[in-house]
Amino acid sequence: MAAATICPTSAQSDVILRDQAWWRSAVGYQIYPASFCDSNGDGVGDIPGIIGKLDYLADLGVGFIWLSPVYASPMVDNGYDISDYREINPTFGAMADMDRLIAEARSRRIGIVMDLVVNHTSDQHAWFSSARSDRHSPYRDYYIWREQPPAKASAADIDAAFGGSAWSQDEQSGAWYFHLFAPQQPDLNWDNPALRAEIYAMMNWWLDKGVAGFRMDVIDLIGKQPEAGIVADGPRLHHYLREMHEATLTGRDALTVGETWSATPANAPLYSAPERHEVSMVFQFSHVTQFWDDKLGKWKPRPIDWPKLKSTFATWQHALHNCGWNALFWGNHDLPRAVSRYGEEGLHRVASAKALATVLHLMEGTPYIYQGEEIGMTNAGFTRIDQYRDVETLNFHRIQLADGVAEAEFLEGARANSRDNARTPMQWSSRPHADFTTGSPWIAVNRNYTHLNVERDRADPDGVFQRYQKLIALRRDHAIIRHGDFRLLAADHASLFAYERRLGAQRLLVVANLSHQAVMLPLAEIGTVQGRDLLTDRPVSTLADGGLGPFGVFAILSEDSISASG
């Protein structure tokens, strides 16, 4: 179904009503619990540690926290393998800590958005234990089984995302079960109505506890039909999402964001057009995957091509304007650090972090900040495989070396794109272990913590934190940022990211130089550069020399006298 069949109805939606959805003016902050703040010295972050940093997050101004999984889990995939949806992993704390986190966050007007991992469970979940030990268990059909492994190259012969086949033999029952990730993460069978009812009951249980919503892990996979070779975007996906909404979200003011690697500008409105009652918005990854190698994927990223990247953003801005809703992000716990990937780690680290933040946050959508991004944290800089902890990185190291890839080549790819780049501990100060823990951290702290840390960045009035704080406040205060039209300017320029937003007679002109060389502004394409720069709060009448320095950026708000005077 094309977007065109959905958008016209949405366009009639009342703009005021849209404005009232709290998540349209809020900014989210993702916490990866193991790496945020450790309160008990065991080297792993925890919930009391997060509670201790809520004032910091309130100061930043975020409206909600997306909390990566804290549920009971054997931690094969750091919590994305859940063994009990209604228990907290003791490493992270107890349910009482979770309740306190929800209450303490709420008293600071911050919602807690739980990660909802329901494409699969852990193989240690009671459902799977029962399913594998007894073919007649009512839980058997909660999972996906076949008696024989699929024939090579048949439709069902599907690869798992973390390497190897998506079918593994269960030694207890002798049958083969389906898992799109690690073998310890068996996929749930969403075609089973009893399973769906259990999931909805669990979601209601959390919502009744006061959580503000869910980030839905790989949710575009739940409509899969493995026997037909269909994994993402299956025929019943949207039916299930609407049923889920009806069973859990109706009448609640919750935020839901689906993680959908398969979403396209054409089908994203199916998820996020308000009147379809599915989810509030989706994370889509075209700006990420367009620079992956055709063969080696993320392990061999191509350099960023700004004209291509800008055009991707513009396409998404247009596709969802007055129709669905965008989620805006540079990074998360699966992706490299924003400055390392799109900006510059060296001399211009601070300026590039600020420029990237600015161009992202002034588009239409709900921006997400990944922990540490607000101080411009960089990739891990690991040089040896034994420094990595991530199951995906370790699996592909084994697989690619067996395929003949050289160790050095793999390590280079991992240094650019391993998920562990974003998982090193949060750098709070220059004290030992960056003040993340008093113990021994589960994964090494980035060595640059002595000069790159929260304490130091916040002491700098031109620091990265201050810019994020400003951008969050601007979104809240300016309707043009939330709802204005979007138009890409100087689309072919190799390093300038320039666009305008318009709402009524207002024009917001955003221009960033995403290179380490000064550039002349193509004024013919950009138009008048006159008004008030929202970033500095100073009037701008002319730009000194018509140029913009390395990673320079401005966001000029003006009243459009031409259209106002006709």
Contact criterion met (CB below 8 Å) for 109 and 142: no
Which residue in this structure is represented by tokens 């994020």? 468
**Near ligand GLC in 426-445, by CB under 6 A:** none
Q: Which is nearer to ligand GLC, 422 or 471 (CB)?
A: 422
Rounded Cα gap, residues 327 and 219, in angstroms: 15
Cβ contacts of residue 551 below 8 Å, gap of 6+? Answer: 343, 344, 348, 351, 352, 354, 355, 512, 513, 514, 515, 516
What single-letter DSSP state applies at residue 249? I
x/- binding map, residues 316-335, to ligand GLC, per CB under 6 A?
Answer: -----------------xx-
**Active-site option among 233, 259, 344, 374:** 259
Task: Using CB atoms within 10 Å of the CB of residue 410, give its burial: 0 to 12 exposed, 13 to 18 middle, 19+ buried.
Answer: buried
Site residue total, ligand GLC (CB under 6 A): 9
- Please give the residues from 443 up to 502 whose contact with ligand GLC meets the rule CB under 6 A: none
CB of 565 to ligand GLC, least distance (A): 51
When binding is defined by CB under 6 A, the residue of 38, 217, 233, 435 that contacts ligand GLC is 217
Look up 217 and say whether it is catalytic: yes
Contact 22, 63 (CB under 8 A): yes
Which contiguous run of DSSP H or E holds residue 503?
strand 496-503
DSSP state of 490: S
Q: How far apart are CA 454 and CA 54, in angstroms?
A: 14
Closer residue to ligand GLC, CB minimum distance, 10 or 332: 332
**Residue nearest ligand GLC, CB atom distance:** 80
Tokens of 370: 């990944």
**Residue closer to ligand GLC, measured from CB, 144 or 452:** 144
Stretch (H or E) spanning 510: strand 506-513
Q: Which residues are CB-neighbours of 306 under 8 A, at least 6 positions away? A: 493, 494, 495, 497, 514
Whether 412 is a known active-site residue: answer no
Q: Is the CA virtual torsion 28, 114, 428, 515 positive or negative?
A: negative
| Residue 231 in contact with ligand GLC, rule: CB under 6 A | no
Shortest Å, Cβ 7 to ligand GLC: 28
Q: Are 351 and 515 in contact (CB under 8 A)?
A: no
- 420 versus 500: smaller Cβ distance to ligand GLC: 420
Tokens matching residue 366: 């709900």
In the bound state with ligand GLC, the residue whose beta carbon lies nearer, of 145 and 285, is 285
What distance in Å separates the CA atoms of residue 243 and residue 59, rounded to the nearest whole number? 38
Residue type, 122: S
373 scored as a contact of ligand GLC (CB under 6 A): no
Residue 77 engages ligand GLC in binding (rule: CB under 6 A): yes
Residue 170 binds ligand GLC (CB under 6 A): no
Q: How far is the CB of 537 from ligand GLC (least distance, A)?
A: 38
Binding mask 105-144 for ligand GLC (x = CB under 6 A): ------------x---------------------------
Comparing CB distances to ligand GLC, the nearer of 181 and 428 is: 181
Find the shortest distance in angstroms from Cβ 67 to ligand GLC: 13
Binding mask 179-208 for ligand GLC (x = CB under 6 A): --x---------------------------
Q: Which C-beta is closer to ligand GLC: that of 414 or that of 519?
A: 414
344 residue type, one letter? E
Smallest gap from Cβ 277 to ligand GLC, in A, equals 24
DSSP 8-class letter at 34 = G
Segment 545-564, which members bind ligand GLC (CB under 6 A)?
A: none
- CB nearer to ligand GLC: pick between 7 and 195: 195
x-marked contacts with ligand GLC along 244-273 as a string, rule CB under 6 A: ---------------x--------------
Q: What is the DSSP letter of 438?
A: S
- What is the rounded radius of gyration, in angstroms, for the C-alpha atoms of the chain? 24
Nearest to ligand GLC of 88, 117 (CB atom): 117
Instruction: Check residue 80 for interaction with ligand GLC (CB under 6 A).
Output: yes
Catalytic-role residue among 77, 97, 170, 217: 217
Query: Which residue has 């958005």 as its token pair?
Result: 113
Residues 23-52, one symbol each (x = binds ligand GLC by CB under 6 A, - = not), give ------------------------------
d(CA 532, CA 188): 53
Q: Cα separation of 26 and 2, whole Å?
A: 29
218 contacts ligand GLC (rule: CB under 6 A): yes
- Residues contributing to the site for ligand GLC (CB under 6 A): 77, 80, 117, 181, 217-218, 259, 333-334
* Catalytic annotation, residues: 217, 259
